[in-house]
Amino acid sequence: MTQDGAEIAPGSSKSERSYTAIKARILEGSFTPGYRLVLAKIAADLGFSVVPVREAIRRLEAEGLVTFKRNVGATVSGIDPTEYLYTMQTLSIVEGAATALSAPLIDSVATARARAVNAHMRECLEHFDPVRFTALNQDFHSILFEHCPNPHILDLVHRGWNRLATLRSSTFRFVPGRAKESVLEHEALLQLIEAAADADTIERAARQHRIATLDAYLAHAPALTD
């Protein structure tokens, strides 16, 4: 484990360990968009030479998390509003469908689990931690769509969440005001499921919930790009 808590396999190479550590700091927000990645400093922090760190940076560049700028060097990439837009639009559709298909299969135990997670999210609002809030948010939605009987739709949902993780770990870091609204919408969604609302109503609510976060982000997008 690195100093920032990133999990590293015991037998992994220095390049792999550098990659894991740097990526963790980008995704958790320690290295923010535009942050200059000084290879010598990172290498010293990790206790490695510059070579494995350079290899890790190149790998992160290929993933779109790092950008090389002339006369500047490696910097953390800004969020691409267009990519975020496409990802969230797609996820709103497939996750909405997955949630609607799952709804008849979600029992009282599952709704209790989801409500408990949402309660933790509500507590998180007091001393806001966007990374923890985002992790809890994924846990909440996973409970609602994990019973989806269509494996193809479920696969698309997981792909969407994975894509969001590469874009940035927490949208709520940039639009913290959206977090409180999200918690309220979660409760409304649970109530629809418990009331056995029709599939169209549940799908529409789940889709609009996702789109509301997208709209909040896009309203701030000009200030978040490179």
| Mean pLDDT (10-residue bins), the chain, 226 residues | 45 86 82 87 94 94 85 83 88 97 97 98 90 90 97 95 71 80 97 98 97 87 50
Amino acid at position 220, single letter: H
Looking at residue 168, what is its pLDDT? Answer: 59
Residue 90: partners with Cβ closer than 8 Å, 6 or more residues away: 156, 160
Looking at residue 167, what is its pLDDT? Answer: 64
Nearest Cα to 28, choosing from 10, 1, 5?
5
Token output for 113: 């689990």
Looking at residue 226, what is its pLDDT? Answer: 43
Q: Kindly state the DSSP code that residue 67 receives in the 8-state scheme.
A: E
Looking at residue 78, what is its pLDDT? Answer: 74
Nearest Cα to 48, choosing from 83, 3, 90?
3
Looking at residue 16, what is its pLDDT? Answer: 93
Token output for 139: 């846990």
Contact status, residue 144 vs residue 114, Cβ threshold 8 Å: yes
195: Cα separation from own chain's centroid: 29
